[in-house]
């Protein structure tokens, strides 16, 4: 095995978490060597744009804003693209990487950061081994999926959560026939109250979607001609040419688990984003903070700023204000600022039709979360100011 002494700060992963951390760190420290080691091509792109690319008239290539080499040059660091990390050796402070068919190589680190993201939750139902069901969580998977679509094709979307609803709206914008199936009684079921979810369902239906709520697929089967059929638990049969699963993400923990780090739903980190090994940190979709996993952009940016300062020598605990998320469904614009997980209270709804304001009233009085739709999304800034911080 060849040993390459990269040392300094080694970041595994070139998603928004990896690159944002590198950028924030370089603002504070121009000298310490930084190496990004990544299994993909290391291109810079904004993942949220994957689910509104048709509406923005962008191809998968248009979504990439910088190549790995341009990003490396601008940030004064190395990006090792197509280098998959297969092992962390904590005792030696090295990682083992695999590149193509060459034999594994070792890279040393002083501080190691895991920014390795999450995997799409596998979708399994009778027949799912016979029918291709895609999932999209990076630009390569998006390009592969996009390459198979022809305008007008029938697309089955499994899951009406945030990502599923956004993809549904975007596919409608791209001229596709869209059918959505979700076992919950309304879209965005884990984030918003019924009235808001049903307003979104109405808007997506108006835009052309067929939506089956409170229903599950019991079987997928190849069709006699082209495409396939999904059979629902009420017996309904949905013909489709392409299926996309958007049923959630599972933080990537295998690498950390094999290295003996503490794992929960994600890689467990403390207020300094430090794992159970003092030289190893984690942020972004793979990390589990004191308030759980936070698979969104604003939390990872706050994490990146805090961790950059810590790595630059000023230990900086993570602080998280209330973090609203804009749902990219132009059929009905929505902003959600969900209450912290496990909060007790009840939703209170104002407004009507497309324009709703839902406030989650906590037990001690006062709103601790909100969801806004349509014209009332303009109240976002005002309401955010009054929300309690997620981590003070
Ligand atoms: C379609 C879609 C739309 C979204 N829209 C929004 C939105 O509107 N607002 C919002 O706040 N959030 C949104 N999100 C969520 C947000 O995009 C993610 O939280 C964020 O991009 C996660 O970044 P990350 O860097 O943690 O993970 P990733 O982007 O998944 O990056 C992980 C990196 O780790 C690398 N890697 C993994 N394993 C290894 C290994 N063993 N060796 C080397 N490299 C490895 C991968 O190659 C990759 O470079 C959206 C997500 C999706 C999928």
Spell out the per-residue pLDDT of the chain, length 392, in tens: 455 667 899 999 999 999 999 999 999 999 999 999 999 999 999 999 999 999 999 999 999 999 999 999 999 999 999 999 999 999 999 999 999 877 899 999 999 999 999 999 999 999 999 999 999 999 999 999 999 999 999 999 999 999 999 999 999 999 999 999 999 999 999 999 999 999 999 999 999 999 999 999 999 999 988 899 999 999 999 999 999 999 999 999 999 999 999 999 999 999 999 999 999 999 999 999 999 999 999 999 999 999 999 999 999 999 999 999 999 999 999 999 998 888 899 999 999 999 999 999 999 889 999 999 999 999 999 999 999 999 99
Ligand 1, atom 22, lies closest to the CA of 285
Domains belonging to the chain, first-starting first, are 2-119+249-310 (3.50.50.60), 122-245 (3.50.50.60), 333-386 (3.30.390.120)
Asked whether 148 and 242 are in contact (CB, 8 A), the reply is yes
Dihedral pair phi/psi, residue 24, rounded to 5°: -65, -40
Ligand 1 neighbours, Cβ below 6 Å, are 12-18, 37-40, 47-48, 50-51, 84-85, 115-117, 137-138, 163, 252, 255, 284-285, 295-298, 300, 325, 328
Of 261, 248, 257, residue with least CA distance to 293: 248
Q: Which residues pair with 83 in a beta bridge?
A: none
What the block records as the tokens of 218 is 């019991």
Classify the phi-psi angles of 234: left when phi > 0, otherwise alpha if psi is within -120 to 50, otherwise beta. alpha
| Residue 31, C-beta contacts closer than 8 angstroms, at least 6 positions apart | none
Asked whether 204 and 336 are in contact (CB, 8 A), the reply is no
Q: Which atom of ligand 1 is nearest to the CA of 297?
A: 11
Q: For residue 187, what are the CA distances in angstroms to 5, 182, 264?
A: 50, 8, 28
């Amino acid at each position: 095995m060849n040993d390459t002494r990269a040392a300094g700060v080694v970041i595994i992963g070139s998603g928004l978490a990896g690159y944002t951390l590198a950028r924030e760190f370089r603002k504070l420290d121009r000298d310490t060597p930084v190496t990004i080691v990544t299994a993909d091509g290391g291109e810079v792109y904004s993942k949220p744009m994957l689910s509104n690319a048709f509406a923005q008239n962008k191809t998968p290539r248009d979504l990439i804003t910088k190549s790995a080499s341009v990003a490396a040059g601008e940030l004064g660091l190395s990006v090792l693209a197509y280098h998959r990390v297969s092992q962390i050796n904590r005792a030696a402070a090295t990682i083992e990487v695999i590149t193509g068919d060459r034999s594994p190589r070792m890279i040393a680190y002083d501080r190691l950061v895991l920014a390795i993201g999450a995997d799409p939750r596998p979708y399994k139902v009778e027949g799912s081994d016979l029918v291709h069901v895609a999932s999209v969580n990076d630009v390569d998977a998006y390009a592969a999926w996009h390459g198979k679509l022809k305008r007008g094709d029938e697309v089955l979307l499994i899951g009406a959560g945030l990502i599923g609803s956004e993809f549904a709206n975007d596919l409608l914008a791209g001229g596709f026939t869209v059918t959505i199936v979700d076992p919950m009684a309304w879209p965005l079921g884990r984030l918003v109250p019924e009235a808001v979810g049903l307003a979104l369902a109405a808007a997506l239906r108006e835009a052309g979607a067929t939506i089956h709520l409170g229903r599950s697929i019991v079987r997928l089967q190849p069709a006699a001609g082209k495409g396939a059929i999904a059979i629902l638990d009420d017996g309904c049969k949905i013909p489709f040419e392409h299926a996309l699963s958007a049923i959630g993400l599972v933080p990537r923990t295998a690498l950390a688990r094999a290295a003996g780090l503490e794992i929960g739903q994600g890689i467990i980190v403390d207020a300094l984003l430090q794992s159970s090994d003092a030289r190893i940190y984690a942020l972004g979709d793979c990390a589990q903070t004191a308030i759980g996993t936070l698979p969104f952009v604003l939390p990872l940016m706050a994490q990146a700023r805090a961790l950059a300062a810590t790595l630059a020598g000023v230990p900086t605990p993570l602080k998280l204000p209330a973090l609203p998320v804009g749902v990219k469904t132009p059929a009905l614009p929505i902003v959600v600022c969900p209450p912290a997980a496990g909060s007790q209270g009840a939703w209170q709804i104002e407004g009507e039709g497309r324009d709703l304001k839902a406030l989650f009233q906590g037990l001690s009085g006062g709103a601790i979360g909100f969801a806004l739709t349509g014209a009332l999304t303009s109240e976002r800034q005002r309401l955010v100011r009054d929300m309690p911080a997620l981590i003070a």
